[in-house]
Amino acid sequence: MVVGGGASGCVVAARLASEGDYKVLLLEAGYSNKHPLLDMPPGIFKMINGTKYMRYHKTVAQPHLNNRVHEIPQGHVLGGGSSVNAQVYMRGRPADYDDWHSELRGSNDGVDWDWNAVLPHFRNMEDNNRLNNDLHGSGGALLVSDPGHVDHLSRLFVKSVQGLGEPFTPDFNGKRQRGVGFYQFMNRNGRRSSAAYAYITPQESNPNLTIRLQAEVHSLVIENDTAIGVKYADKSGRIHTVHCTREVVLAAGSLITPKILMLSGIGPREHLEDIGITCKNHLAGVGQNLIDHPEVPITARVKGKHGYYKQGEGWRMLKNGLQFKMFGSGPITSAGVEAGAFVNPTSPNDPPTIQAFCVPIVYVDRDTRDLVQDGYGLTVTTVVVKPKSRGTVKLASANPKDMPLVSPNLLKHSDDMDAMIEGQKFFLRAFDTMPLSEHVDRVMLPDPKEKSDEALRNYCKRFVKTNYHPAGTARMGKDGDPMAVLDPRMRVRGIKGLRVCDLSAMPNINAGNTQAPAMMMGDRCADIIMGHI
């Protein structure tokens, strides 16, 4: 039984049903992924600001951000984030996984988590349209492609960052992460390659796989310290109890997986008892160690009608749709963010501390949209790739219908804030560097008249947002680690027949986008269950 049909859940469910000859029930709280706007790469920008395919978690007030409350959108659809995100294909760097392995060493029970162990999963999943070598695969289920359309502003950004001394990088998943270049994406020929399309669609007629949508899992059924099933509510609200004969795999995401565990009596004893839940298995780390990549925008008005402003409206939408239908080209084949960079502003030859995304629109979070005027513009977002800040996920009550209390603590650690300020300063220089500078009318955010570190610090507090990568809330750890929820085989400690394979299980976050790592973790979980590892 798999709880959660996101990126990792789709992979583990499909592989177990197709290769392991298991009877698999996949329970997904959200909706079907089959919708035209979800299929098209730029559909995210119509979906992000309000749709049933996203679930919007409001944070608790953040004292270090002047009590600001912001949102963490999460996919509420089969395929999870892979069905609604910007589709950037990024694995992180080898050192991320070597660090996992070092942290788990001594109790890994024969499961290695270093780069050499995870690389075959990335390669086997991948069907890359340009690369086929020792780092990239061809013929896998996941379609990975170069951008189908590159906006003029994206090309100017790449040239200007090179003008600042950064090398051009043709493959951010190659031997060198540092530099500026164009991302690869999980799509092909103007259609998204989500985990749902890549893994579930080919199994739709497989009698071993049963999928139930709008099935909100409330809790696990546990007997004799063994997970034997779950309780869930269907779309009408009726409660069902289903049992399994083998295992329950939780893949509901880093905000909902710990909620389900705690509602089932698995988690920090004091917190559970405070809200009236009997603690069946004290695991202090459940809901702790929340990690997310913090992101802050730099937004400028541009000269001329460049970028994607209003390209999805009126006659422009009709023109772009016609070009796509007739020629398979044009803006519809772009995910809306084609270029990016990895840099270390203070020590260029050391591992990058900042990732940047070049978005040829005015792009800010929902709670700050009224602070900047829309129009023809360019946004470069700066992201701290290895944040030290840690947050929490807690229960609001014992009622499964209540959303969890999420406190991400973005930029709370002073090192994260310092890194973000340096990232802002570096990419503000890019706006003043040829050839981009010739096309910039004015920088709108941050205020160009306020350039001090203190001014940037205050600006970051007001505009920081999630990069949509929450992770770590039920992390793997070695024996004896009081905060380790899972062992290295992704098994929940103290409960038999229960694993977690989504981003919750990450000991630390990877340096870059997290969708591909989530799928890798589902793939490894399937191999572990089937005895291949």
| Of 208, 199, 223, 259, the residue nearest 74 (C-alpha) | 259
The set of residues, in sequence order, having a beta carbon less than 8 Å from that of 506 and lying 6+ positions away, is: 100, 291, 471, 472, 475, 476, 517, 521
The amino acid that residue 318 corresponds to is L
Contact 192, 8 (CB under 8 A): no
Q: List the structure tokens of 327.
A: 């020629």
The amino acid that residue 496 corresponds to is K
Rounded CA gap, 387 and 397, in Å? Answer: 29
Q: List the structure tokens of 400.
A: 């499964």
Rounded CA gap, 133 and 130, in Å? Answer: 10
The neighbouring-strand residues paired with 358 are: 339, 380
| Of 426, 383, 358, the residue nearest 153 (C-alpha) | 358
The CB density around residue 53, as the number of other CB atoms within 10 Å, is: 22
Q: List the structure tokens of 220.
A: 């696990």
Q: List the structure tokens of 450.
A: 């306020």
| DSSP secondary structure letters along 386-431 | S----BEEE-S-S-TTSPPEEE--TT-SHHHHHHHHHHHHHHHHHH
Residue positions counted in the chain: 533
Residue 339 per-residue DSSP state: E
The set of residues, in sequence order, having a beta carbon less than 8 Å from that of 421 and lying 6+ positions away, is: 453, 456, 457, 460
Q: What ranges make up the beta strands (E) of 126-234? A: 126-128, 142-144, 179-182, 187-188, 191-192, 209-212, 216-223, 226-233
Contact 277, 58 (CB under 8 A): no
Active-site option among 70, 76, 101, 469? 469
Rounded CA gap, 198 and 391, in Å? Answer: 32
State the number of CA atoms in the 13 A half-sphere of 532 facing the CB.
13
Rounded CA gap, 19 and 271, in Å? Answer: 40
Active site annotation includes 469: yes
Distances (CA, A) of 369 to 49, 57, 366, 374: 10, 18, 5, 8
| Of 126, 171, 176, the residue nearest 146 (C-alpha) | 171
Contact 295, 382 (CB under 8 A): yes
The amino acid that residue 195 corresponds to is A
Exposure string (b/e) for 212-250, b if CB count within 10 Å is 16 or more? Answer: bbbbbbbbbbbeeeebbbbbbbeeeeeeeebebeebbbb
Active site residues: 469
